[in-house]
Amino acid sequence: MKNFHWAVLAILVLAAFGYSVEASHAAPSFTAPQVNAQGILTCASNDGRRNVCPADTRSGVQLVNQRSGSPCVFGRTWGYDARSIWVDKGCRADFQITPSWGGWDKGYNVYCSSDSGGRQRCPTDTRGGVQMVRQRSSSPCIYMQTWGWDKSGIWVDRGCRADFQIGSTGGGWKPGGPGWQPGKNIVTCSSNDMNRNVCPTNTNGGVRLIRQRSDADCIYQRTWGYDKRGIWVDRGCRADFEVGGY
């Protein structure tokens, strides 16, 4: 009789163990998308588990409003593929589904970092819109909290470090339109030999990066910048810069 009781107990333990293993490998839940007229979708990990919200994300996604106390960190507690947005570990947020657009050169990336924990500005042309495409920091990059953009460029704060795609949302013109046309005060400066090169020009009105032409990253204050002598580039950065006039 005692052996029978032990056998029953063993079966119950194994059953409980098997159930827990199955539960831990359960497929993520799916939530029907609720996209409003502005292309905003709210996706929530209300139970602390991974949740997938189906959506057409082929043109990109941007977190615009975090609603949860749990952090929404790109690549850790939220992300997306071509068919959906996923959230995990309590992240709950509003996401902008980026519309397709007919902008110039299909955009390019700019790296901007708040290495000191304070606010840092990265001058660049933002008339085509800006979208964060890769967070590099452990500190969260949250739109309008630790990063944002205006007509002068991108800003980051509180340790946010990320790659941003320029000309990715079509914010400066309508999709399929004629696209952005450069002004008259455009200077092309190149570090063709991987060394620092200075391109003399009047920088009193400020400088911002308009178009990166090199495979090497053009990072403000690291591989490009400006002073009273002109614009400087380094380590293979090659780009077009707009001088003043904005």
Same domain, 59 and 85: yes
Q: Is 18 helix (H, G, I), strand (E, B) or coil?
A: helix
Q: Are 87 and 51 in contact (CB under 8 A)?
A: yes
Same domain, 33 and 63: yes
How does residue 45 score in pLDDT terms, banded at 50, 70 and 90?
very high
In-domain check, residue 85:
yes
Q: Are 120 and 112 in contact (CB under 8 A)?
A: yes
In-domain check, residue 15:
no
Domain range for 35 is 29-97
Structure tokens at 142: 């949250």
In-domain check, residue 238:
yes
In-domain check, residue 178:
no
Same domain, 86 and 34: yes
Work out how many domains the chain is built from and give that number.
3
DSSP 28-77: PEE----B-TTSEEEEE-TTSS-EEEE---TT-EEEEEE-SSS---BTTT
Say how far residue 1 (Cα) sits from the centre of its chain: 65
In-domain check, residue 22:
no
Taking the chain, what is the end-to-end CA distance rounded to the nearest angstrom?
89
In-domain check, residue 37:
yes
Q: Model confidence over 208-220: pLDDT tens digits?
A: 888 788 878 888 8
Same domain, 46 and 76: yes
Q: Model confidence over 68-78: pLDDT tens digits?
A: 888 887 778 88
In-domain check, residue 90:
yes
Q: Model confidence over 113-143: pLDDT tens digits?
A: 898 889 998 988 888 788 888 888 888 999 8
